[in-house]
Chains A and B, each alone.
Chain A
Amino acid sequence: AQTVTQSQPEMSVQEAETVTLSCTYDTSESDYYLFWYKQPPSRQMILVIRQEAYKQQNATENRFSVNFQKAAKSFSLKISDSQLGDAAMYFCAYRSWTGNQFYFGTGTSLTVIP
């Protein structure tokens, strides 16, 4: 099974600043998909951004962008201009091109300081 590692259990950022959450994964596959999910306190987990491994261009969604380094098996999430509403648990996830399962990291709890 693929493994996904988030090495930062907790992070904090000043409001309006930029923060980067790290994620690494282990796989022998060449085609796969990577996702970042956000889980606000006591609220539903939602998709933030996704990346197709065959695409070299990093995905961007408004203030959220990724730094995808396929050779290094690294998939970090950058949040620019952090807002109070960004405070949440963030999970990195991997999905094989051929499989139905998703593999999740253990999460990073992000605190935004006013």
Chain B
Amino acid sequence: DVKVTQSSRYLVKRTGEKVFLECVQDMDHENMFWYRQDPGLGLRLIYFSYDVKMKEKGDIPEGYSVSREKKERFSLILESASTNQTSMYLCASSRQVAYQPQHFGDGTRLSIL
């Protein structure tokens, strides 16, 4: 089975801090994704990466950056955390073959105080 591991289930940070969310997958997937999940808004794509060192902006990239130095690891960075970034963050990975689904991590519930 595919395993997507997010480094923290719960995280509390302060406004202005630089925050790192880490995600690792063990199935050699080309694609990796970061989503934000808020009630009533579903999943909104922040960034995705289709290869090492490659990234593309999703629907809500403002205030975020990403890093993919190795194929298995995809990091989401909040450059200067703000309270409106309090949310559930989901990491996912997939093969580039179109019929393949995404596989998700457990999510990180991030609170910015």
Task: Give the B-binding residues of A (Cβ under 8 A).
Answer: 1, 6, 9, 32-33, 35, 37, 43-47, 50, 52, 91, 93, 95-102, 104-107
Known contacts A33-B99, A45-B90, A50-B99; is A104 also within 8 Å of B104 by CB?
no
B80 to chain A, nearest CB (A): 27
Chain B contact-residue range equals 20 to 34
Known contacts A106-B41, A107-B42; is A100 also within 8 Å of B50 by CB?
yes
10 closest A-B pairs (Cβ-Cβ)?
A: A106-B42, A45-B104, A104-B43, A47-B101, A97-B98, A100-B31, A44-B106, A104-B42, A107-B42, A100-B50
Contact A91 B106 (CB under 8 A): no
Roughly how many angstroms separate A109 CA and B31 CA in the complex, as a whole number?
A: 28
B71 to chain A, nearest CB (A): 15
Q: Which residues of A contact B59 (CB under 8 A)?
A: 1
Roughly how many angstroms separate A59 CA and B33 CA in the complex, as a whole number?
A: 26
Q: Which residues of B contact A47 (CB under 8 A)?
A: 101-103
Chain B residue at minimal CB-CB distance from A35: B101
Roughly how many angstroms separate A6 CA and B33 CA in the complex, as a whole number?
A: 22
Roughly how many angstroms separate A100 CA and B51 CA in the complex, as a whole number?
A: 11
Contact A100 B42 (CB under 8 A): no
Roughly how many angstroms separate A33 CA and B101 CA in the complex, as a whole number?
A: 9
Contact B98 A33 (CB under 8 A): yes
Chain B 59-85 residues near chain A, CB threshold 8 A:
59
Roughly how many angstroms separate A98 CA and B50 CA in the complex, as a whole number?
A: 13
Most buried by B among A97, A98, A102, A106: A102
Contact of B48 among A52, A96, A100 (CB under 8 A): A100
